[in-house]
Amino acid sequence: MGVLGSTRGSSLVPILSAIAGGDLGGVSVVTVISNVANAGILEKAAAAGIPHHTVLCAGRPKSAHEDEISSLLHSAGVDIVLCCGWMRILSPTFVARWRHRIINVHPSLLPAHAGGMDLEVHAAVLKAKENVSGCTVSSFVGGGPVNSFYHPTALCPTYSPPPSHPFHLLCYYARFMLLLRRLMLASPLYSEPAL
């Protein structure tokens, strides 16, 4: 698996823990790529001994940096591309090149709060007085078919301060449970337990 990330890399940590614990048999992270030179996800990759690269996008045609990213992914032997806080919309060409092999997780029930990120999404949910939120795992970044949803049953907290902290932790946990489930299904060694 190759990971694309522009931010802290908080999604990478439980994935690496699940791999180390044998919960994602046959899945490994072979490269991490960021478009931000000092992104936290690169530090987490370095600490875990995972090869990592920076592919700067600013001032370059989308096709040029996406070709470079694809080349790095192919060189590393990547089968699955996981977007963990990847803050760029992937082109239809890139998505077609990696068709059915891109996993993206978003911290809202899309299409609600699309384009938002992490705490700002949770703050927007609370501001809109929505009763429930969750996350979405999809096969695209920037649109496309949604593969699955997770709807936590907890109501949004209405107290303060801080209004988004407990809610954020609930959604954070739900996001990782859904993401790990999706990665389990992608594992070549995974099979559904017999009933």
Domain assignments of the chain as residue spans, ordered by start: 2-186
Whether residue 33 is predicted with pLDDT greater than 70 in this model: the reply is yes
Residue range 178-185: average pLDDT? 60
Q: Quote the pLDDT of residue 39.
A: 94
Residue that wins the pLDDT comparison between 65 and 193: 65
In angstroms, the CA 179 to CA 193 distance is 19
pTM: 0.75
The residues with which 103 forms a beta bridge, in sequence order, are: 82
pLDDT value at position 119?
74
Q: Model confidence over 122-144: pLDDT tens digits?
A: 778 778 877 767 777 766 554 44
Mean pLDDT of the 153-179 span: 49
Residue 26 corresponds to which tokens in the numbers above?
A: 């046959």
At 29 the pLDDT is: 95
Per annotation, catalytic residue among 106, 113, 122, 168: 106
| CATH number 3.30.465.10 is the correct assignment for the domain at 2-186 | no
Bridge partner residues of 104 (DSSP): 83, 138
To the query of whether residue 106 is one of the catalytic residues in this protein, the response is yes
Distance, CA of 112 to CA of 77 (rounded, Å): 35
Q: For residue 77, is pLDDT > 70?
A: yes
